[in-house]
Amino acid sequence: MELLSTKNAARYLSDPSYPLAFRTLERWRVEGKGPKFVKVGRKVFYRRQDLDAYLESRLCQVTFDRRKRS
C-alpha cells in the first residue's frame, strides 16, 4: 500500500493551472471534508485509492449542481 504525505497528496490532486495547497488538505481534515486519510501516530498519510475515490465523488455533469456540496 502506497502512502502519500499531505504535500504529495496535494500535488496528486492538483492541476497545473489550479494547484491545491497542502494547507487546504489540513483544513479539510479539521472540517471533516476531503479525502479519507490514515493517521499513524502524529503523522497523516493518504492512500492513492482514497484520493482517486475522492476525485470520483466530485464528478459533475453540469456546471451548476443543485445538490449541496461540502
Neighbouring-strand partners of residue 63: none
pLDDT digit string, tens, across residues 22-38: 999 999 999 999 999 99
The count of other CB atoms within 10 Å of the CB of residue 16 is: 5
In a domain, 69, yes or no: no
In-domain check, residue 70: no
Examine residue 29 and state whether it is found in any structural domain, yes or no.
yes
| Structural domains of the chain, count | 1
Q: Is residue 22 part of a domain?
A: yes
Q: What is the pTM of this model?
A: 0.82
SS3 content of the chain, % helix, strand, coil (to 5): 40, 15, 45
Q: Which domain range does residue 45 map to?
A: 3-57
Residue 27, in any domain of the structure: yes
Q: What confidence score (pLDDT) does residue 67 get?
A: 62
Sheet containing strand 43-47, edge to edge, reads: 3-4, 43-47, 38-40
Distance, in Å, from the CA atom of 62 to the CA atom of 38, rounded to the nearest integer, reads 32
